[in-house]
């Protein structure tokens, strides 16, 4: 399935093999990884592996993160979107099979409302197009921005849980409650 989602300021599409330099710019930035386990990448090979993972997700799980571009400049700003976590290796807060909403932007695009704008669109895509029953979100407790976005787009706080050696917060929104 081709993806072309538009918001006021952004265009979202699936990642492609030639997006390696975009992912390298995003994921080699230590600031971006502050609340993601502090493991930024350092090689193009790692960026290629991330792209391969995205492409496999689209193919095997029929969903995955979407590359986001600023309409006004055409610049790649990062990614936003849904992911199907599946299996013990992707266990989080006791869940092994769940749809997660997330976003990861290059710092020069922070503070413009883009993460919220893209997440609103992806949530809508998840419920209306993909017909998911429930969408989850998680953020480290210290990641104020991410916790705020999850709440702003309508997810409800459920519980605190441990993520590696950090404390994190778990949120959910069901299709029944969406838009209420």
Ligand X SMILES: CC(C)(COP(=O)(O)OP(=O)(O)OC[C@H]1O[C@@H](n2cnc3c(N)ncnc32)[C@H](O)[C@@H]1OP(=O)(O)O)[C@@H](O)C(=O)NCCC(=O)NCCS
Residue 148 as a binder of ligand X (CB under 6 A): the answer is: yes
Identity of the residue, 47 or 105, whose beta carbon is nearer to ligand X in the bound complex: 105
DSSP characters over 75-130: -EEEEEEEEEEESGGG-BTTBSEEEEEEEEE-GGGTTSSHHHHHHHHHHHIIIIIS
Residue 114 as a binder of ligand X (CB under 6 A): the answer is: yes
CA dihedral 137, 42, 109, 100 (to 10 degrees): -10
What mask of x and - would describe binding to ligand X in positions 27 to 46, judged by CB under 6 A?
A: -----x--xx----------
Residue 110 as a binder of ligand X (CB under 6 A): the answer is: yes
Q: Which DSSP symbol is given to 38?
A: S
Identify the residue among 24, 101, 143, 153 touching ligand X (CB under 6 A): 143
Query: Collapsing DSSP states into helix, strand and coil, what is residue 168?
Result: strand
Residue 176 as a binder of ligand X (CB under 6 A): the answer is: no
Residue 101 as a binder of ligand X (CB under 6 A): the answer is: no
Identity of the residue, 13 or 112, whose beta carbon is nearer to ligand X in the bound complex: 112
Residue 115 as a binder of ligand X (CB under 6 A): the answer is: yes
């Amino acid at each position: 399935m081709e993806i072309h989602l538009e918001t006021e300021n952004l265009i979202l599409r699936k990642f492609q093999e030639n997006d390696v330099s975009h992912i390298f710019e995003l994921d080699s930035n230590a600031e971006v990884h502050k609340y993601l386990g502090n493991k930024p990448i350092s090689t193009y090979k790692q960026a290629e592996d991330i792209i391969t993972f995205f492409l496999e997700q689209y193919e095997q799980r029929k969903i995955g993160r979407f590359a986001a571009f600023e309409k006004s400049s055409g610049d790649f700003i990062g990614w936003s979107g849904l992911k199907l976590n599946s299996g013990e290796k992707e266990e989080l807060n006791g869940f092994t099979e769940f749809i997660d909403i997330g976003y990861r932007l290059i710092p020069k695009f922070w503070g413009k409302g883009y993460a919220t704008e893209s997440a609103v669109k992806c949530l809508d895509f998840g419920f209306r197009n993909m017909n998911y029953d429930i969408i989850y979100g998680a953020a480290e407790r210290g990641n104020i921005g991410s916790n705020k976005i999850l709440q702003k787009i309508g997810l409800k706080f459920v519980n605190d849980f441990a993520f590696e050696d950090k404390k994190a917060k778990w949120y959910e929104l069901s299709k029944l409650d969406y838009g209420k």
